[in-house]
């Protein structure tokens, strides 16, 4: 009898163990825009992390034409760029050292904060090149196999989340610099853009960059 009761108890323990709820593995931490805002606005002096606001403006509304506007930019794109700044694909004397001090969660937090901010509009400045810029953006340059920018970045420059960045309203100077960097190979984290930029002249780059600045 004793062995019978032992067997019953053992079976019961196994049955209860099988019925017990299984612990699910923890998923990735959700991005925290509030923490992102704090780091963006104040930096972290203890780790020599400069406040992003000093170069990119409050809420990402940069007023310095050499520094990109980041408000309203897709979180996935910002996270990708910060990650690229940590490696060799995108080297910058200011951004690379700063990005290397950030954890992956911090980059995601900053990206989530900026994604939630309003995009600051801009304006085209060169009336003489406006028609050329519009033509390139909307229709590309067929004879050079340059596709229409609108195909990836959308007609109003809003881009496609997690695929292509928002570029509408971006500073002309910044866009010119980045297209030129893609063309020269100085910027290596966009093979498609490098191929396209290599087929464009300085005047074509400046014209489309100015047109992009006026998109909204």
The 10s digit of each residue's pLDDT in 140-156 is 999 999 999 999 999 99
Q: Is 171 helix (H, G, I), strand (E, B) or coil?
A: coil
Phi then psi for 169, rounded to 5 degrees? 85, 0
Mean local confidence (pLDDT), 26-53: 93
Mean local confidence (pLDDT), 9-14: 41
Q: What is the pLDDT of residues 183-215, one digit of tens each?
A: 999 999 999 999 999 999 999 999 999 999 999
Task: Read off the pLDDT band of 10 (50, 70, 90).
Answer: very low
Q: Mean pLDDT in the chain? A: 91
Among residues 84, 119, 123, 89, the alpha carbon closest in space to that of 104 is found at 84
Share of the chain above pLDDT 70, in %: 88
Fold agreement (33-115, 127-213): yes
Q: Is 152 annotated as a binding residue?
A: yes
| Per-residue pLDDT at 21 | 53
The reported pTM is: 0.86
Q: Residue 44: pLDDT above 50?
A: yes
| Per-residue pLDDT at 29 | 79
Residue 18, both tokens: 């099988």
Q: Residue 51: pLDDT above 80?
A: yes
Choose which CATH entry (3.40.190.290, 1.10.760.10, 3.40.50.880, 3.40.50.261) describes domain 33-115.
1.10.760.10
Distance CA 45, CA 67 (A): 22
Q: Residue 18: pLDDT above 50?
A: no
Distance CA 115, CA 70 (A): 8
Q: Residue 66: pLDDT above 70?
A: yes
Residue 172, both tokens: 């002309």
Q: Residue 12: pLDDT above 70?
A: no
Distance CA 146, CA 216 (A): 23
Q: Is 1 annotated as a binding residue?
A: no
Give 107's Cβ-side CA count (13 Å radius): 20
Mean local confidence (pLDDT), 34-53: 98
Q: Is 192 annotated as a binding residue?
A: no
Q: Is 171 annotated as a binding residue?
A: no
| Per-residue pLDDT at 27 | 63
Class of domain 127-213: mainly alpha
Q: Is 200 annotated as a binding residue?
A: no
Q: Is 74 annotated as a binding residue?
A: no
Q: What is the pLDDT of residues 101-140, one digit of tens each?
A: 999 999 999 999 999 999 999 999 999 999 999 999 999 9
Mean local confidence (pLDDT), 50-78: 98
Q: Where are the domains of the chain?
A: 33-115, 127-213
Residues 193-208, buried b or exposed e (16+ Cβ, 10 A)?
bbebbeebeeebbbbb
């Amino acid at each position: 009898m004793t062995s019978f009761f032992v067997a019953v108890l053992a079976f019961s323990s196994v049955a209860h163990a099988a019925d017990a709820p299984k612990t699910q593995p923890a998923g990735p931490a959700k991005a925290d825009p509030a923490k992102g805002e704090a780091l963006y606005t104040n930096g972290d002096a203890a780790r020599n992390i400069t406040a992003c606001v000093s170069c990119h403006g409050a809420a990402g509304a940069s007023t310095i034409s050499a520094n990109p506007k980041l408000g309203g930019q897709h979180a996935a794109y910002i996270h990708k760029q910060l990650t690229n700044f940590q490696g060799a694909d995108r080297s910058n004397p200011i951004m690379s050292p700063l990005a290397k001090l950030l954890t992956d969660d911090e980059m995601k937090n900053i990206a989530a904060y900026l994604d939630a901010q309003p995009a600051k509009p801009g304006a085209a400045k060169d009336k003489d090149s406006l028609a050329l810029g519009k033509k390139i953006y909307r229709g590309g340059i067929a004879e050079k196999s340059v596709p229409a920018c609108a195909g990836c970045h959308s007609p109003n420059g809003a881009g496609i989340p997690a695929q292509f960045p928002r570029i509408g309203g971006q500073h002309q100077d910044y866009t010119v610099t980045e297209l030129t960097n893609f063309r020269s190979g100085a910027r290596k984290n966009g093979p498609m853009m490098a191929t396209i930029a290599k087929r464009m002249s300085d005047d074509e780059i400046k014209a489309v960059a100015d047109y992009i600045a006026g998109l909204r």
